[in-house]
Amino acid sequence: MAIVREQDTIAAIATALSPSGIGIVRISGPEAFAVADRVFRGGAKAGDCASHTVHYGYICDPQSGRTIDEVLMLVLKAPRTYTREDTIEIDCHGGVLVTKRVLEAVLAAGARLAEPGEFTRRAYLNGRIDLSQAEAVAGIISAKNELALKNSVRQLRGREREEISLVRNEILREIAQIEATLDDPEHLSFEGFDEIMTRQTAEQLRRIRKMIDTAEDGRRMREGIRTVIVGRPNAGKSSLLNALLGEDRAIVTEIAGTTRDTLTEEVRMRGITLLLVDTAGIRATDDTVERIGVERAKQAAAEADLILWVVDSSAPMDENDLTILASCGDKPMIALLNKSDLATVTDAAMLRGAMEKAGKEADTSLPIAISAKTSEGLEELEERITSMFFAERIAADDECVITSERHKQALLAAEGSLLRVQESMAAGMPEDFYTIDLTAAYETLGTILGEEPDEDVINMIFSEFCLGK
């Protein structure tokens, strides 16, 4: 990301460049009103207008005076704006060409084209939001499902900041108490301090670990649940993929071994995202290409968040089914008895017995009868997946769920610092030793909020934003 010049007045198109009802050009900075006055013709000077008002008029080329479009101009005065700077938003017609022409006129009038994420960066630098909230804005824009969107909105409203700030403030009080006692030993004492520190550090660790424990759910919210479909040839794996997608994406034939490679598709269900991976049928084979596909299927299963084991209920189980079951290890699994629309040869009791013999958990070993052909059982499958991965606590409005790997690593580092505090207390070290690790924990947690800023990290975060935001 280029060096941002905070005193510049910036402008960008804030809506998608596509035919639409409205296009928005946003201007922010100390000269926003002056720039608007050079292009807007409507009988009103932006600086003379009341804040948060809308004005009808036209945008004209500042050099030729030629009218470009009929518009509405929104006047937003600092500090009650997204960036806490004077801001103008021009609502023009949503054609690609006309929106570009309006932006060109604004740039010709003295504004600079904004860098990706520069409006949000200014909101952060001007203290309107912290760094975790800025990342939440990016999360809202890129959300793939309802849970990810809901959690990003919760983060934008400050839920994560509240939890981090609570722990940081407690640590800061401990540091201050130690330093004050060291500076004034005649009036202050460390008597009983270790007992208090023991309780407080344990509570801080509890809060931090609770956030760390949500990180895996947060990753699945953000990226989706990597769901690998395994089974022997002709069990109906590709048919299941097509049924869940609602379209014929994978080739389905009666010929065993049709699928030779992995195929990944994304599907949303019940507010979550599944990254569905269809795999080659797993069996012993002398075919070189099919054997490569089988190895790739096993590798995909090893990397899965969830395995859907598809068994053909119209045929007897064989050694290939048992080999597949053994190769799935301890991954979360749902067993599916496919082809329930046909006469049953392998039933739930047989399948459950095989899974219990392989040591599968009782709550995940209950097979679901489905028909990829008729969609029977798919609703029950959706319910099972949702209950397995996202407990009710995730949906709670006050739950803090960590979705950023950067935040997770910072929390892990803070946890390590607090564990070293506990080690120092257990070893009977002097109290001033505690402040070293307490300060490290305080500063590390501050990096999540951007209160201990690292310019490279900040540049990296905002470079991932889109233009106009």
Reported as a single tens digit per residue, the pLDDT across 373-410 is 888 888 888 888 888 876 554 545 567 889 889 999 99
SS (H, E, C) 62-119: CCCCCEEEEEEEEEECCCCCCCCCCEEEEEEECCHHHHHHHHHHHHHCCCEECCCCHH
Please state, in angstroms and rounded to a whole number, the distance separating the CA atoms of residues 232 and 256.
9
Largest Cα–Cα distance in the chain?
A: 88
Q: ∠ CA(79), CA(85), CA(90), 5° rounding?
A: 110
CA distances to 12, 250, 298 from 107, rounded to whole Å, are 9, 49, 56
Beta bridge partners of 54: 74
Q: What is the mean pLDDT of the chain?
A: 84
pLDDT digits (tens, 9 = 90+) for 66-83: 999 999 999 999 999 999
Please tell me the distance from the alpha carbon of residue 402 to that of residue 212, in angstroms, as a whole number.
7
Closest CA to 35 of 114, 139, 146: 114
**Residue 405 β-bridge partners:** none
Q: What are the pLDDT digits (tens) for 329-381?
A: 778 888 888 888 888 888 888 887 777 777 766 445 578 888 888 888 888 88
Nearest to 418 by CA among 195, 182, 209: 209
Q: What is the DSSP track for 413-437? A: HHHHHHHHHHHHHHTT--HHHHHHH
CATH architecture of 10-130: 2-Layer Sandwich (3.30)
Quote the CA–CA distance of 41 and 43 in Å, as a whole number: 6
CATH of domain 229-394: 3.40.50.300
Rounded CA-CA distance 262/294 in Å is 9
Would you place residue 207 in the very low, low, confident or very high pLDDT band (cuts 50, 70, 90)?
very high
Which pLDDT score, from 0 to 100, does residue 52 have?
Answer: 96
Per DSSP, the three-state class of 314 is coil
Q: With 70 as the cut, is the pLDDT of residue 247 above it?
A: no
Cis peptide leading into residue 367 (ω within 30°): no
Q: How far is it, in rounded angstroms, from Cα 440 to Cα 458?
A: 20
The residues, ordered by sequence, that sit 6+ positions from 223 with a Cβ below 8 Å of its Cβ are 273, 275
Q: Could you tell me the fold of the domain covering 144-214+401-450?
A: Four Helix Bundle (Hemerythrin (Met), subunit A) (1.20.120)
What is the SS3 assignment for 37?
helix
Contact 310, 229 (CB under 8 A): yes
Tokens found for residue 315: 């045929």
Is pLDDT above 70 for 33? yes
Q: Angle at which helices 405-426 and 431-449 pack, to 10 degrees?
A: 170
Give the SS3 label for residue 54.
strand
Q: In what order do the strands lie in the sheet with 22-28?
A: 40-41, 53-60, 67-76, 87-93, 22-28, 10-13, 112-113
**pLDDT at residue 39 greater than cutoff 90:** yes
Q: Contact at 8 Å (CB) between 36 and 88?
A: yes
Predicted confidence at residue 420, as pLDDT, reads 95
CB < 8 Å & 24+ apart, contacts of 175-179: 175/435, 175/438, 175/439, 175/442, 178/431, 178/432, 178/434, 178/435, 178/438, 179/435
Q: What is the pLDDT of residue 286?
A: 55
**β-pair partners for 275:** 226, 266
Segments making up each domain of the chain, as ranges: 10-130, 144-214+401-450, 229-394
Sign, CA dihedral 213-215-218-224, equals negative
Give dist(CA 190, CA 410) in Å, integer: 30
| pTM score, whole prediction | 0.75
Look at residue 190 in the predicted model and tell me its pLDDT: 75
Residue type, 86: D
The pLDDT of residue 172 is above 60 = yes
Q: Tell the residue number behind the tokens 């979705």, with chain if given.
A: 403
For residue 198, what are the contacts with CB-CB under 8 A and spacing of at least 6? 422, 425
| Span 259-295, pLDDT tens digits | 445 677 888 887 788 888 887 656 555 555 656 666 7
Can you say whether the dihedral through the CA atoms of 17, 23, 29, 35 is positive or negative?
A: positive
Reported as a single tens digit per residue, the pLDDT across 293-326 is: 667 777 777 788 888 988 888 888 877 777 778 7
